[in-house]
Amino acid sequence: MKDMDQQAGNRGEIRDFLASRRAKITPAQAGLPTSARRRVAGLRREEVAVLAGVSTEWYTRLEKGHIGGVSEDVLDAVARALRLDDDERSYLFDLARSSRAGSRTPSRRRDVEVPPRVQWLLDSMTMSSAFVRNGRTDVIAGNPLARALYAPMFGSATVDGRGRPNIARYVFLDPGAHDFFVDRDAAGRATAALLRAEAAREPRDRALRDLIGELSTLSPEFRDQWAAHDVLIRHDGIKRLRHPEVGHLELTFQDLDLPLSGRAVHNLIIYTAEPGTASEDRLKLLASWSATPSRAADPLDQSGAPTS
C-alpha cells in the first residue's frame, strides 16, 4: 500500500512540475506563432509535444505522471522543449527513476557520521567559515568560524536535541532569520528548492518527509515556495548577512560535493570575503573571537560593544 501511495504522490509531483515549467515559457520564447485568443500565458500541451517530437496524447499521458517507462532520449527531448536547466533536468530524471515499474526505489539511506579527517579539514580553515550539510539541510559539522558566523542559527530554538541546526527550520520557523538574512526571501526560495530536489532523490526518506510536513504545517511561506516546484541542486553565490556582533557582511559562498557514503548527499559550504573589503575585516574579527574560547562565549567587551 505504501508503494502505491508513493507512486500516486510521485505522479502528482511529475504533473505539477511539468505543468509549472510549461506555464513559464511563452510561444514567442519557443519560436511558435502566437494568438490573441490564447487562454494560457505559457505553452499548451500540444505545443510542448510538437517541440519534443512526440504526439499530444503521449505528452498528455506523460504530464499526468506516467513517466516510469519513458526512455532517457524522450526525457531529454521534453527537457529541451521545456528549457529545463541542469538542476531541473536532474530532478525530472530522478522522478522518472523512482517511478519505473518493476524496480524498487533504493531503501532509505542511513545517516553517516562525519569522519575525523573531514573535521580536521574544516578546522584547518581558520579564515573561512566552513560547514557540512546533508540533503535535509542539517548542519552536521562545522568549524569555529562557521559557528561564530551563524551564531543566530546555532543558538536558535529550532536546533535539534543534539544542538544541531537545520537550515530550513531556521529560515522558515525562526522569526530572527528575517533580521539575519538581508535577502531573506531569496534564502527561503533557495532552501525550499534544495529540499524539493532532495525529495526526488530520496523519496523514501522518512525524516525528510517529516521535515517537509512540519514546514508545510507551520509556515505559510514554505507552502507557497513548495507549490512553486522550483528545484536547486547546487547553491553558491553572494550571501549578505546582518550579524548581531559585527554588523553587515557580504560574503562569497561556494557549494562543493563531499562524498561521505555511497548515496547520501553531503555538501561542503565555504564562506569567504573579498580581500580588502570591510566584510573581510569583520570576518577576521569573528575569526579572532572564535579562536578564543572566552571571546567566543562573549564576543563583546565590557562596554557592551565590539572591539572593532
Distance CA 189, CA 132 (A): 20
Residues 71-107: tens digit of each pLDDT = 889 999 999 999 999 999 999 998 888 876 444 544 5
Please provide the distance, in angstroms rounded to a whole number, between the alpha carbons at the two ends of the chain.
62
Residues 255-277: tens digit of each pLDDT = 999 887 766 779 999 999 999 99
Residues 9-25: tens digit of each pLDDT = 578 888 999 999 999 98
* Beta-carbon count within 10 A of 133 CB: 22
What's residue 163's pLDDT?
A: 87
Lowest mean pLDDT among 1-15, 120-134, 176-190, 201-215: 1-15
Q: Is the pLDDT of residue 303 over 70?
A: no
**Mean of pLDDT values over 123-129:** 95
What's residue 3's pLDDT?
A: 47
Long-range contacts for 116-120 (Cβ within 8 Å, ≥24 apart)?
118/258, 118/260
Q: What angle do CA 57, 87, 241 make, to 5 degrees?
A: 140
What's residue 302's pLDDT?
A: 36
Residues 215-253: tens digit of each pLDDT = 999 999 999 999 999 999 888 899 999 999 999 999 999
Cell 578546522, located at residue? 123
Q: Is the pLDDT of residue 308 over 70?
A: no
Mean pLDDT, rounded, of the chain: 86
Cell reading at 185 = 526571501
Residues 127-144: tens digit of each pLDDT = 999 999 999 999 999 999
Q: Is the pLDDT of residue 301 over 50?
A: no
Q: Report residue 191's pLDDT band, with 50, 70 and 90 as the boundaries.
A: very high
Higher pLDDT, 247 or 111: 247
Contact in structure between 151 and 298 (CB atoms under 8 Å):
no
Residues 16-54: tens digit of each pLDDT = 999 999 999 888 888 887 766 667 778 989 999 999 999
Length of the chain, please? 308
Cβ contacts of residue 298 below 8 Å, gap of 6+? none
pTM for this one?
0.84
